[in-house]
Amino acid sequence: MANNLKKVYIGAICNRDTEVLTRIKSFLLKNYNIALIDFMKTGIDSFNAKYLEKRLKKYPIVFLIVKLTTLKENEIVYETVRQVSPNLPILNTLDSVKICESRRATFQYIEENCMKVNIPKTYNSLQQANHTLKNGNEIIIKLDAHNIPNLPKNERIIGVAKTQEDLKVLINDYDESELFLQEYLGAYDIVNKVYVIGQWIVSITSHNRLNQNDNLSPLELVHIRTSIDEKLKRRIMRIGRKLGMTIYGVDYINTQNGPFIVDINDFPSFRSIPEGISLIADHIYNIISMREQLIKGLLKVKSQY
């Protein structure tokens, strides 16, 4: 198939799940003659306007993928891309990537822009948290940074506080700015993970890391595909549109009060979705093709005047 297609170049600013990017790169080149150029080979410290300008002059990049771990230095990436290539199409918008770096920013955005989505209540200060604990409610404490390099996912959850004393002990080694404090909905063994690629959406089960059950059998650890309620599906797709994402993941739990979304991830790894790599590559190809057709159509109309 690739031999019949004109070679197209896309760029990637990526330092997260790089093995996934390598597989996407291989699939794109083999099936669509799309060459993926890595803009982060020398690390984020070497990424600046001059470097990006040089790469864009060398390669006729038509599309960009941004997929980053959570670092303060990422601001350099956002500023550089906006400055050097403000009109270059990006898979997930820069704003969405930046918002998803922070749990606090993510849930604040949903609360303000996606009114019909059920999410646990967020506490923006220790004063608010202590007040709700005093009233008998429990709080789950997580690190606010979403994709911390070299930190296992289960260590990003600090614990559950039932009392003010619990909270004091749990956060003793942390600065308040590092924390994300949220209403604890209860001990649910199963977390449903939803993966979205364009208009394609699938839901699988996953065991809750917070319960840390080491006695699960290999069969119990298997991710099972599950159906997803149509209303919830529409709301999850709406979250993506609002944020400006076409590839993303959403975690939710089923409660007595309906499904509650507890996590959102821009461009997850898709390790539990065997067809994920091919679907992502297909999606990228379709976006580029539709954009080319649109440009040709506009040029044709323009030439008639």
Q: Residue 186, SS3?
A: coil
The tokens for 85 are: 């290539």
- Report whether pLDDT(2) > 80: no
Residues 10, 35: contact at Cβ < 8 Å?
Answer: yes
Average pLDDT over residues 20-34: 96
- Report whether pLDDT(199) > 80: yes
Provide the percentage of residues in the chain whose pLDDT is more than 70: 90
Average pLDDT over residues 8-14: 96
pLDDT for position 282: 97
Q: What domains are there in the chain, each with its CATH number?
A: 2-91+273-303 (3.40.50.11950), 121-184 (3.30.1490)
pLDDT digits (tens, 9 = 90+) for 130-167: 999 999 999 999 999 999 988 887 788 999 999 999 99
Residues 99, 105: contact at Cβ < 8 Å?
Answer: yes
Place of tokens 């001990």: 187
240 CB neighbour count, 10 Å cutoff? 20
- Report whether pLDDT(295) > 80: no
In angstroms, how far is CA 202 from the centroid of its own chain? 15
The tokens for 179 are: 């924390």
Q: Please calculate the CA angle 165-148-22 and round it to the nearest 5 degrees.
A: 155
Whole-angstrom distance, CA of residue 212 vs CA of residue 189? 10
- Report whether pLDDT(215) > 80: no
Q: Among 298, 208, 304, which Cα is nearest to 252's?
A: 208
- Report whether pLDDT(209) > 70: no
pLDDT for position 221: 47
What is the average pLDDT value for the chain, to the nearest integer?
90
Whole-angstrom distance, CA of residue 138 vs CA of residue 290? 49
pLDDT for position 151: 84
pLDDT digits (tens, 9 = 90+) for 36-64: 999 987 778 888 899 999 999 999 999 99
Place of tokens 């290539």: 85
pLDDT for position 292: 79
Whole-angstrom distance, CA of residue 232 vs CA of residue 238? 10
pLDDT digits (tens, 9 = 90+) for 58-109: 999 999 999 999 999 999 999 999 999 999 999 999 999 999 999 999 999 9
